[in-house]
Amino acid sequence: MVDTGTRGDTPGELAAPSALTSVVVHASGAVCTRLVRLEPAAGESAVSVRVPGLPPALFEHSLRARVVSGPPGLRVTDIRLDFGATLRRGDELPNVRLDLEDAEDRQSRLRDRRDRLAAEIEEVAGFRAEPPQPRRGDPPRWAPVESILTLAGFVDSRLALLHQRLRTAEEELAAADHDVDVLWHRLDQASSALSTDRALPSVSAVLTLAPGARNAASPAGESDEADAGPTAQATPTAQAAQVTPAARTAPAGEGAAAPVPGAESTPVALELEYQVPGAAWAPVYQLRLNGRSGAGTLVLRACVAQRTGEDWTGVRLGLSTADLLRSAGLPELRSLRIGRSQPEPAASSWREPRRGWGVVRGLRRRR
């Protein structure tokens, strides 16, 4: 099943498929790049474009978008993440998952039946013949022996029948528990390439595209970017889970693209970049020796492992020894002076402004 997204709830929001084009695997984690192709349409107002199919484990602060090609001045002004869930139909689930759900339903019914029988046995065992209390001065009453014996016989026969049913229910419940444990073991041993969950999490990137004149200070050909960092955090409404029925659509990267307003009818290409955990690589060295000449060849290979939830088949792959979780900012180097030693200048400290300084600043701004 491929989730290519649907039209959003916001009026004017369009859905566009994407394709994973390149992955750079680091020592811990990876940087993925997706390409989104759009068909422009005439229009001047900003529009929201939804790009589904992102992995749920991506780092939100690493999400970036830029315009690779398109009409002049088209830029990405905002980007955020939208989380949801997609329900899968029964025919899309593996047989082991369906058998497990049936076994759990039978286990729940047997457990409820056992509890009802245990409660009924406790209630029947509490039946007692209690004659009314005689009043003071009344002669002794005749004891209803036959009624008491009849009640005792009924309680014994009923308890025998209920205990037999309870033993049968407990045996069936023990068999159902065993079946559930076996199916859970089979489900754990199944391949992780096939998802067995009833509901699949879905993550979409919602971009805001706005046409307009490019900034004159930026050089020609420079791409505009929007960073989902502190200035573009996902809103609480976007983070709320939305459950939608699954729809079988074309795979990502195929089918008609979503129209986007632009100044010209020029194809538009967007590039999404984000970081994901669950990927690593290790070098593998192989030395091949020639017994006759004594020469050898050292071959370097890479063993890549990933569990990001994406399919990397046919994707351009790169390797890096850098750590994504470590800060890569340049250190601030202190200046060195050659000459006579001088005391370091004292650090400037904050002091409270004089009284009435705020009024003077306000008057200057008004002028």
**pLDDT by 10s per residue, the chain, length 367:** 333 334 445 556 778 888 899 999 998 889 999 998 877 555 556 778 888 888 888 888 888 898 888 777 888 888 888 888 777 776 666 777 788 888 999 999 999 999 999 999 999 888 887 777 778 877 777 777 788 888 888 889 999 999 999 999 999 999 999 999 988 888 777 666 566 677 778 888 888 888 765 443 344 444 444 444 333 334 433 333 333 333 333 344 444 445 554 444 577 888 999 999 888 898 888 888 887 887 888 888 889 988 888 888 889 999 988 877 776 677 777 777 777 777 777 776 666 766 666 655 555 555 5
Pairwise CA distance, residues 199 & 63, whole Å: 25
Give the amino acid at 340: R
Name the phi and psi angles at 233, rounded to 5: -80, 150
Strand partners, 50: 15, 206
Inter-residue contact 13 to 234 (CB < 8 Å): no
Residue-range domain boundaries for the chain? 14-90+198-280, 94-132+143-189
Any residues with CB less than 8 A from the CB of 247 and at least 6 apart, and which? 6
The CB density around residue 366, as the number of other CB atoms within 10 Å, is: 6
Pairwise CA distance, residues 36 & 209, whole Å: 13
Pairwise CA distance, residues 1 & 198, whole Å: 13
pLDDT at 194: 62
Supply the Cα-derived Rg of the chain in whole angstroms.
Answer: 36
Extended strands (E) in the chain: 14-15, 18-25, 30-42, 47-54, 64-69, 75-87, 199-210, 225-227, 243-245, 259-262, 268-276, 279-289, 296-306, 316-319
Give, as one character, the DSSP assignment of residue 185.
H
Alpha helices by DSSP H, the chain: 95-125, 145-189, 236-239, 357-366
Pairwise CA distance, residues 110 & 197, whole Å: 25
pLDDT at 332: 78
Pairwise CA distance, residues 185 & 191, whole Å: 12
The number of residues making up the chain comes to 367
Pairwise CA distance, residues 352 & 76, whole Å: 42
Pairwise CA distance, residues 32 & 134, whole Å: 90
Q: Which of 194, 234, 250 is nearest to 83 (CA)?
A: 234
Inter-residue contact 213 to 133 (CB < 8 Å): no
Using the structure block, give the residue that is written with the tokens 């065993």.
Answer: 178
Any residues with CB less than 8 A from the CB of 29 and at least 6 apart, and which? 275, 276, 277, 278, 279, 280, 324, 325
